[in-house]
Amino acid sequence: MKRLVAFDLDGTLAESKQAIQPDMAEALADLLTVADVAVISGGDWPQFDKQVASQLPARADRAKLWLMPTTGTKLYTFRDGAWGVVYAELFSDAEKRKIIDAFNASLDATGFVPGQTWGERIEDRGSQITFSALGQQAPLEAKEKWDPDFAKRRVIQADLRQRLPGLAINMGGSTSIDITREGVDKAYGLKRLRDESGIALDAMMFVGDAIFPGGNDYPAKELGLDTVRVRDPQDTLGVIATVVACQK
């Protein structure tokens, strides 16, 4: 029996940057009756609020929900009727400038210039700097077509690793690359969650769509958690229903 089920967000609980659907919100509320739930992903808190926190039905036990933006370098919990930050590990201004300069140089060097973009391509998330190839507001259809096999981002990632030694550079979502401090990935976030929640790693399971070498969910598997790879949110609904049935 697992005490906590952790999820990736985009591609797992919801389509990229979209709110969870009503059936997913109800499924998570069901899951919260039998286990704690964590969501860990590269987006910042406003995205988590929009996609998950604000979508849950009134019956959901928010006190058992752990929301971990920016790959677990931030943690939010629901206490005294409101969401609040437990910790946030932020880059200094000098670190941010260095990363953004490296991104710009890398994009010039690798030559991946899309024909159209929607919004800013480089976003400062405080504890994480994120590159979104087509812009932060790109439509889902365009994002799914740009780099479905991760090949373009692997080239950019390899170039960035030469420019930014000592930092973690991971692919996330459908068009993103996330930069955090060295050693920061979902395994790092899950270990922080263990420390904050008091729930042992072997009492957790992880569900994600990128549990493969190079995928940003793979560190959860390397950490030794029981993992379930899903194709999309519809798959995830089936996993949740199974967990709820087994836990009861």
Rg (CA), the chain: 17
pLDDT in tens, 194-211: 999 999 999 999 999 999
Angle, helix 233-247 to helix 22-31, in steps of 10 degrees: 30
pLDDT over threshold 90, residue 1: no
Question: Is residue 11 within 8 Å of 41, Cβ to Cβ?
Answer: no
What pLDDT score does 113 carry?
80
Mean pLDDT computed over 204-221: 93
First-to-last C-alpha distance (Å) of the chain: 10
Q: Give the span between the Cα atoms of 98 and 9, in whole angstroms.
A: 28
pLDDT in tens, 132-169: 999 989 998 999 899 988 899 999 999 999 999 999 89
Lowest mean pLDDT across 51-65, 105-119, 230-244: 105-119
What pLDDT score does 118 carry?
95
- pLDDT above 90 covers a percentage of the chain that reads 83
Q: Tell me what the pLDDT averaged over the chain comes to.
A: 94
- List the helix and strand counts (H, then E) for the chain: 9, 11
